[in-house]
Amino acid sequence: MDSPTLRLAKELIRRASITPIDAGCQDLIGERLQALGFRNEIMQFGDVTNLWTRRGEKAPLFVFAGHTDVVPTGPVSEWRFPPFEPTVHEGMLYGRGAADMKGSVAAFITACERFLAHCPEPNGSIALLITSDEEGPAVDGTVKVVEALSARGETIDLCVVGEPSSSTRVGDIVKVGRRGSLNGRLRVMGEQGHVAYPHLALNPLHAFAPALLELTQQQWDAGNDDFPPTTFQISNIKGGTGATNVIPGEIELLLNFRFSTEVTADELKAEVEALLQRHDLRFEIEWTLSAQPFLTGEGRLRNATAIAVEAVCGRAPEMTTTGGTSDGRFIAPTGAEVVELGPVNATIHKVNEHVAAEDLDMLSAMYEKLLEELLGKA
């Protein structure tokens, strides 16, 4: 069990590339692709290293998009094997980034190598967009590369993001869109005082509680054929002095909407603020829009992806828009068709992250078949 894809995935995992550090991963990727005729371009923004590498000038431009950065390991003592010493045990490749997403990046490269060996003059161009900022703030990564490409008239037509989209078996799920993500930082003000004299104070948590109940019970929309209904969650809440006998003067909450195409970010903002006003709260709220929802409809990329998965796995994938956000949110607004196809996501961001070694070869075969379907036919 020592395929080219597995060997390359191991080499990438050995590089401790915790966001925004790339640790030489993109140099390794660039060397492999330069040997195939790709032209490498390093785009540095702040502390973030991005690689844009392209072969060919003809349309359509097909892009594999991914990232070399990984999340922190957590307690190393809890790992079965050292997180940056890739280990294959009972058919599983262990290591930070094995599933998210150095395995996919390795599969991108070996798929390109095989495809170009038998189709050196494809009917279009191939590029890879690789960032070291996907797991972090994501402000100097893919979004900046896409802006730079757009400024010089370089247009992505088709894009496969290698995020771990699969659920129980590789290729069972393909993401064809993502929900929007809207964040709010809410401050509710009261009046600090002694807990024994509540009539001389105003507890902002108590005042906010009825509004919170209403927020959690609100149906924001019913979703549609492509998207589940919009959801609302409180992710953080902070208040108080730490003392047991002091009523807090204010509380701060972080909230998030994952929203469908049935509602806009502005509509959600307006509904929340109107609800808070109805409850006579003194509040301030700051909004941050992390992503607009996007959907890749029926077309050449979705069709080719279904063909590729079925050819390798023997079954058709489910096309969904569930889950969190990905860097596809920066690419889709340019007009590109975008799908996400990657390994099983059961252990991503966890201690003992791992992926089936044979799944990486299957994934590479799917990517190669995609290239054949999209660029290898007259």
What average pLDDT score do residues 146-170 get? 97
Model confidence at 323, in pLDDT bands (50, 70, 90)? Answer: confident
**pTM, entire model:** 0.91
Model confidence at 325, in pLDDT bands (50, 70, 90)? Answer: confident
CA distance 330 to 328: 5
Strand pairing category for 250-259 and 231-239: antiparallel
CA distance 344 to 361: 13
pLDDT at 119: 97
- Catalytic option among 22, 113, 133, 134: 134
What average pLDDT score do residues 86-104 get? 98
Measure the CA angle with vertex 40, ends 35 and 42; round to 5°.
Answer: 145
Task: Give pLDDT tens digits for 251-281.
Answer: 999 999 999 999 999 999 999 999 999 999 9
Residue 47 bears catalytic tag:
no
CA distance 104 to 165: 11
Q: Identify the CA nearest to 128 among candidates 99, 107, 152, 147.
A: 107
Helices 25-34 & 103-118 angle (0-180, nearest 10): 10
Domains of the chain: 4-178+293-375 (3.40.630.10), 180-291 (3.30.70.360)
Model confidence at 328, in pLDDT bands (50, 70, 90)? Answer: very high
Residue 318 bears catalytic tag:
no
Task: Let me know: does 105 contact 66? Beta carbons within 8 Å.
Answer: yes
Determine the straight-line distance between the first and last CA of the chain, rounded to whole angstroms. Answer: 36
Kindly tell me if the per-residue pLDDT of 378 is higher than 80: no
Kindly tell me if the per-residue pLDDT of 17 is higher than 70: yes
Mean pLDDT score across all residues of the chain: 97
Q: Which amino acid is at 38?
A: F
Kindly tell me if the per-residue pLDDT of 372 is higher than 90: yes
Binding residues for Zn(2+): 67, 100, 135, 163, 349
Binding residues: 67, 100, 135, 163, 349
H helices of the chain, in order, are: 4-13, 25-34, 103-118, 142-151, 204-217, 265-278, 300-313, 328-331, 357-375
- Catalytic option among 22, 69, 340, 368: 69
pLDDT at 1: 66
Model confidence at 352, in pLDDT bands (50, 70, 90)? Answer: very high
Q: Identify the CA nearest to 111 among candidates 377, 331, 360.
A: 360
Residue % of the chain over a pLDDT of 70: 99
Task: Let me know: does 181 contact 257? Beta carbons within 8 Å.
Answer: yes
pLDDT at 324: 84
Task: Give pLDDT tens digits for 215-239.
Answer: 999 999 999 999 999 999 999 999 9
Displacement of CA 238 from its chain's centroid (Å): 27
Kindly tell me if the per-residue pLDDT of 129 is higher than 90: yes
Task: Please name the residue that has the structure tokens 């509380």.
Answer: 251
The sheet that has 318-320: what strands, in order across it?
39-45, 48-55, 125-131, 61-67, 158-161, 337-340, 173-175, 318-320
Q: Which structure tokens are listed for 114?
A: 């095989």
